[in-house]
Amino acid sequence: MLREMRNPVLTFDGMSKRFADGTVALAGVDLSVASGEFVGVVGPSGCGKSTLLRIVSGLTAASEGKVMVDTDKIGYVFQDPTLLPWRTVQANVELLAELGDLPKQERRRRANEAIELVGLSDFARHHPRALSGGMRMRVSLARSLTLQPELFLFDEPFGALDEITRERLNDELLQLFLTQQFTALFVTHSVTEAVFVSKRVVVMSGRPGRVVGDFPVPFEYPRAPRLRFDEEFAHLAGEVSACLRGERRRPSQPSPPPRPVEGIAHR
């Protein structure tokens, strides 16, 4: 079955970013993300992965090249859960809807729904300090979900968590991806994590960052946790790692749109 061609939600065309101090973080990034895609981005630390997300979200402007973002419903999940410690889980999840001036009832409804989705209904009245790291991250996810984003940006969201928690959250994130219908750009420093969650893994070079590899991931969703121990999975992860180390380079895809790949299920 061929994947249907969808419009890109996000396109970078020769995009570069130079900071005021002269540091060049990104140099000529070409990348396109189609609607409904889950794209993982891996790269050595300091290669501008986070800057990439900041540019997509509009927090920072690109210095050169084109950036096209086809939605203003963007969810941004930082590495730190960025919860407000004085607010309860419920109030934290309501925050974005509150900043967007949604009526109180609607905020409450959306927050309850999102909290339920991440399985924290029993903790709605707790303060963040009473929660574990993984639970805080779930609250952070729920908070973004209330705005029903079309494009989700993840900046190493599970990087600070232990492996067991991280893998569980990967599974839960994929569940959300399948039910909530968003496009995702997922930055991580873990190759295994990137391959496990993504439909496509993009490899970036060291600073200044640009795209040096683009790997389709041929596994169907939903993905079982044991996929991580699959031979084909290990092989692909090995290839991505080699590319990351600069041993083998695959030219970045001339996208948009993403290359049709056989055997990938539709969402």
CB of 37 to another protein, least distance (A): 22
- Nearest residue (CB) to another protein, 59 versus 261: 59
> Residue 75 class from Cβ within 10 Å (0-12 exposed, 13-18 middle, 19+ buried)?
buried
String marking each residue 78-117 x if it binds another protein according to CB under 8 A: x-x-x-xxx--------xx-xxx-----------------
Residue 110, SS3? Answer: helix
Residue 236 phi/psi, 5-degree rounding, is -65, -45
Residue type, 8: P
Q: Facing residues of 69 across strands?
A: 10
CB of 76 to another protein, least distance (A): 6
- Nearest residue (CB) to another protein, 82 versus 175: 82
Nearest CA to 112 out of 137, 91, 136, 133 is that of 91
- Tokens 């410690």 correspond to 85
Cα angle: 226, vertex 229, 235; to 5 degrees = 135
- Tokens 């029903």 correspond to 148
CB of 58 to another protein, least distance (A): 8
String marking each residue 110-149 x if it binds another protein according to CB under 8 A: -----------------xxx--------------------
Count of residues interacting with another protein (CB under 8 A): 20
For residue 65, give both structure tokens.
């090249």
> Which parts of 25-54 interact with another protein (CB under 8 A)?
54
For residue 64, give both structure tokens.
């050169």
CB of 60 to another protein, least distance (A): 10
CB of 118 to another protein, least distance (A): 18
Looking at beta carbons, which pairs linking 98-105 to residues 24 or more positions away fall under 8 Å? 100/147
CB of 149 to another protein, least distance (A): 11
- Nearest residue (CB) to another protein, 30 versus 94: 94
57 touches another protein (CB under 8 A): yes
Instruction: Please give the residue ranges that form the binding site for another protein (CB under 8 A).
Output: 54, 57-59, 74, 76, 78, 80, 82, 84-86, 95-96, 98-100, 127-129
